[in-house]
Amino acid sequence: MATIKEIAKKAGVGVGTVSRYLNNHPYVSDDKRIKIKKAIDELNYTPSAIATQLRSNSTKNIGVLVSRFANPFFAELFDAIERKLNQFGYQVLVSQTHDDSAAEQRFLDQLKNKQVDGVILASVENHQLVEKFAKSYPNKIVLLNEENKDNNIPSIVLNHYQATMNGLEYLYQKGHRNFSYITGGDYDNKHHGYSRTKAFQDFLKTHQLSINNKWVFSQQHTALDGQKIAQDLMIDSRKLPDAVFTNSDEVAIGLINELQKNGIHVPKDIAIVGYDDQPFARFAEVPLTTIRQPINAMANKAVDILLKNLTDSNIDENITEQDLKLKLIIRKSA
Amino acid sequence: MATIKEIAKKAGVGVGTVSRYLNNHPYVSDDKRIKIKKAIDELNYTPSAIATQLRSNSTKNIGVLVSRFANPFFAELFDAIERKLNQFGYQVLVSQTHDDSAAEQRFLDQLKNKQVDGVILASVENHQLVEKFAKSYPNKIVLLNEENKDNNIPSIVLNHYQATMNGLEYLYQKGHRNFSYITGGDYDNKHHGYSRTKAFQDFLKTHQLSINNKWVFSQQHTALDGQKIAQDLMIDSRKLPDAVFTNSDEVAIGLINELQKNGIHVPKDIAIVGYDDQPFARFAEVPLTTIRQPINAMANKAVDILLKNLTDSNIDENITEQDLKLKLIIRKSA
DNA sequence: AGCTCATATGGAATCGATTCCATATGTAAA
DNA sequence: TTTACATATGGAATCGATTCCATATGAGCT
């Protein structure tokens, strides 16, 4: 592959002039323009992005981290993020953690070794690690759907507490009193998805309900997990919960499938509420009652904030608080 | 951020020695090792990936192109590709075309400007363009589920012709004679998904069946598309096809949903066959009869071939022809 | 003592583009 | 005619890491 030096030589000009030509600098005469263009065409030259990146100390690459692509929520979210970043001329480097915090570490190291200008974290394993990086690289990190205690990292935070509460109150008002709860995080831990869990705990307290510990499930993500939970619940078939609040539509769908396979009808025997309103939620064997996350607004907002912080330019933020509202979608499963 | 020069100065050694230390070169004495380590820790130094890339003329980045992330087939496929590339220490730069060939051009330009060492194309818009790049960069391109005429680009090609034929023969044997066909490509064009379409055309010929042109749909991708097709089919409600062969589970699901909403029962009134066996297919309101693509094997094979071509090393290919078989999964929709 | 070879080290050259500096020419204003 | 400023250009210095080259020391062998 040709270099700028070869172009300069072939066109009979200096490298500076070629560089000015490439970057549309005004001070290049028409006759040199023509010669340079000819040389570039003949040698089929394209500037090395790497060399430009080294010199300019910026890559036009953004890193995006999710936990698992096979989760349709993240797939859709990423789809929207990628489209928007592409509009602004950025490339996207992407990683998934699959719950492995070493992968997160490797991902964040890309900030340190300058492979990316900034990152969007749609999933956080190790909050301490992220706090540490945020201290070294303020303005280069945006959290999406992940809170941080001290609130010192730019974040897109939706009101999951309220949304969860709404979902639970809906179930309560329908007469349900024996709840099961499924989270993707830990039930006691202050991190991932905690505001949802906190809402559940507060809900129990408010209504003076007790909870069977065997009906609380942590670290559940997939439809397969949901099926296993169904089997767990059915071990003691004399006593089943009458409502299940889940953290994800995937889990809800596996759960419903396995329950119905065993003659337990949803929502007649058990009501189930999902989370996300993933695209297939409406097409499931029992269309899901679920909490919709405004994916497009979330993605656009995250990109807006990151690019604004990176460039100091005022990309107009046309995403409002209203756009970022979670909403209970009532279908058939509860 | 510190540079290697500052480390050298602080440790009282030459830059060469620091570099040798970083790259585990043997000729570094123990006392300098200690001094260098101390300097690195104190300055919190990490080598610039960009500088290394420039010097070494390689990035350890692989580009992956898909048409649309929100399509669960691609999301799953990408999930597997990313995991495997990560295992081998590669980062992944990803783009989606959303049917826009300009995006494909921009993506491929990354080969030319050296931002990626190689690419996996799981979706091709403009075959001529790809052929051109393949000529300039043999060994750096792998096609996944996309054929090329002259067969000169490394490709993972499954037998979609046979799989489609199997699906159609299954429907024929069940007594269906009036077919509708839905493709994501063009019905006449020789490109995207053509071997499936060819199978359909041959199938019609073999059984001397005629086809109503209004029952052929091209460029259909989403559940929404499927719903619209249902409406199209129902315009003339006196005469409906008795079987629909689709190119994707997403389309099938939208189609089924809209038909049943209008009192047309699947599979009693119309049989429908999907494609992909996306994770959700088994959980749909009518569990889908569909053709399963062996996603993991496909992803692993694509990465194996690409890395083998890039490094000349013999990464052992443990994916066999058998692993790459498509399979008709019979459920309830046909 | 003289020779060879492994071990060790510093620093210049290099990768390829950008930018600054020195310099030259042309033209309008004083 | 002198001054001033816009236009135009070549090339050295720079970004940060790697590698080659020159050189030095010490051990082992004859």
pLDDT of residue A316: 65
Bases in strand C with any atom closer than 7 Å to a protein CB: 7-21
CA of A27 and C1' of C29: distance in angstroms? 23
Local confidence band at A312 (pLDDT 50, 70, 90 cut-offs): confident
pLDDT of residue A190: 63
Averaged pLDDT, B21-35: 94
pLDDT of residue B186: 84
Q: Do A279 and B61 touch (CB under 8 A)?
A: no
Q: Do A72 and B76 touch (CB under 8 A)?
A: no
pLDDT of residue B322: 81
**For residue range B232-284, what is the model confidence (pLDDT) as tens digits?**
999 877 789 999 999 999 999 999 999 999 999 999 999 999 999 999 999 99
Give the Cα separation of A59 and B53 in Å (integer): 12
Query: Which residues of chain A are within 8 Å of residue B91 when distances are taken between CB atoms?
Result: 93, 95, 110, 115
Q: Do A91 and B95 touch (CB under 8 A)?
A: yes
Whether A150 shows a pLDDT value over 90: the answer reads: no
Least CB–CB distance from A223: residue in B113, B223, B283 = B283
Q: Kindly identify which residue of chain A lies nearest to residue B110, measuring between CA atoms.
A: A49
pLDDT of residue A191: 66
pLDDT of residue B71: 96
Whether A151 shows a pLDDT value over 80: the answer reads: no
Query: Which residues of chain A are within 8 Å of residue B69 when distances are taken between CB atoms?
Result: 69, 75-76, 78-79, 82
**For residue range A233-249, what is the model confidence (pLDDT) as tens digits?**
998 777 899 999 999 99
pLDDT of residue B314: 65
Give the Cα separation of A193 and A139 in Å (integer): 24
CA distance A64 to chain B (A): 10
Q: Which among B262, B283, B275, B263 is positioned nearest to B332, based on CA atoms?
A: B283
Half-sphere exposure of B38 (CA within 13 A, CB side): 11
Give the Cα separation of A61 and A42 in Å (integer): 30
**For residue range B271-321, what is the model confidence (pLDDT) as tens digits?**
999 999 999 999 999 999 999 999 999 999 999 999 999 987 666 667 787
Question: Of all protein residues, which has its CA closest to the C1' atom of C19?
Answer: A16
**For residue range A191-248, what is the model confidence (pLDDT) as tens digits?**
677 899 999 999 999 999 989 889 999 999 999 999 999 999 998 777 899 999 999 9
Q: Do A51 and B54 touch (CB under 8 A)?
A: yes
Residue B314 CB partners (closer than 8 Å, separation 6+): B308
CA of B29 and C1' of C7: distance in angstroms? 9
Q: Do A49 and B114 touch (CB under 8 A)?
A: yes
**For residue range A59-113, what is the model confidence (pLDDT) as tens digits?**
999 999 999 999 999 999 999 999 999 999 999 999 999 999 999 999 999 999 9
Nearest nt to the B113 alpha carbon by C1'? C16
Cβ proximity of B258 and B289 under 8 Å: no
pTM: 0.94
Question: Of all protein residues, which has its CA closest to the C1' atom of D8?
Answer: A27
Give the Cα separation of B275 and B156 in Å (integer): 18
Q: Which among B197, B230, B194 is positioned nearest to B215, based on CA atoms?
A: B230
Question: Of all protein residues, which has its CA closest to the C1' atom of C10?
Answer: B14
Q: Give Dmax over CA atoms of chain A in angstroms.
A: 90
**SS3 assignment for B221-235:** CCHHHHHHHHHHHHH
- Specify whether the backbone of A219 is left (phi greater than 0), alpha (psi in -120 to 50) or beta: left
pLDDT of residue A175: 94
Name the residue type at position A132.
K
pLDDT of residue A321: 78
Q: Crossing angle for the helix pair A15-22 and A4-11, nearest 10 degrees?
A: 110
Q: How many Cβ pairs within 8 Å bridge chains A and B? A: 136
Give the mutation candidate from A74, A110, A280, A282 for the B interface (greatest B CB count, under 10 A): A280
**For residue range B58-88, what is the model confidence (pLDDT) as tens digits?**
999 999 999 999 999 999 999 999 999 999 9
pLDDT of residue A38: 97
Torsion angle (degrees, nearest 10) of CA B102, B104, B108, B110: 70
CA of A33 and C1' of D7: distance in angstroms? 15
Strand D and A16 CB separated by under 7 Å: yes
Query: Which residues of chain A are within 8 Å of residue B110 when distances are taken between CB atoms?
Result: 49, 91
**What's the whole-number average pLDDT of chain A?**
94
Give the Cα separation of A224 and B138 in Å (integer): 41
Give the Cα separation of A87 and A307 in Å (integer): 12
Query: Which residues of chain A are within 8 Å of residue B103 when distances are taken between CB atoms?
Result: 86
Whether A3 shows a pLDDT value over 80: the answer reads: yes
Query: Which residues of chain B are within 8 Å of residue A51 when distances are taken between CB atoms?
Result: 54
Least CB–CB distance from B283: residue in A46, A76, A285 = A285
Whether A1 shows a pLDDT value over 80: the answer reads: no
Query: Which residues of chain A are within 8 Å of residue B137 when distances are taken between CB atoms?
Result: none
Name the residue type at position A184.
G
Whether A306 shows a pLDDT value over 80: the answer reads: yes
Give the range among A173-177, A193-197, B89-93, B110-114 with minimum mean pLDDT.
A193-197
Give the Cα separation of B311 and B290 in Å (integer): 38
**Percent of chain A scoring above 90 in pLDDT:** 87
**For residue range B94-124, what is the model confidence (pLDDT) as tens digits?**
999 999 999 999 999 999 999 999 999 999 9
Paired tokens of B152: 């000169």
Q: Say if strands A61-66 and A118-121 run parallel, antiparallel, or are unpaired.
A: parallel
**For residue range B1-14, what is the model confidence (pLDDT) as tens digits?**
799 999 999 999 99
3-state SS class at A263: coil
Residue A265 CB partners (closer than 8 Å, separation 6+): A259
Bases in strand D with any atom closer than 7 Å to a protein CB: 7-21
Report all structural domains of chain B as residue ranges with CATH numbers, in order of start.
4-56 (1.10.260.40), 61-157+295-323 (3.40.50.2300), 160-292 (3.40.50.2300)
Highest mean pLDDT: which range of A11-25, A180-194, A304-318, B144-158: A11-25
Backbone angles phi, psi at B92, to 5 degrees: -120, 125
CA distance B301 to chain A (A): 19
Paired tokens of B55: 């010097």
Q: Do B279 and A96 touch (CB under 8 A)?
A: no
Query: Which residues of chain A are within 8 Å of residue B109 when distances are taken between CB atoms?
Result: 46
Give the Cα separation of B95 and A82 in Å (integer): 7
CA of A110 and C1' of C20: distance in angstroms? 31
Q: Do A109 and B287 touch (CB under 8 A)?
A: no
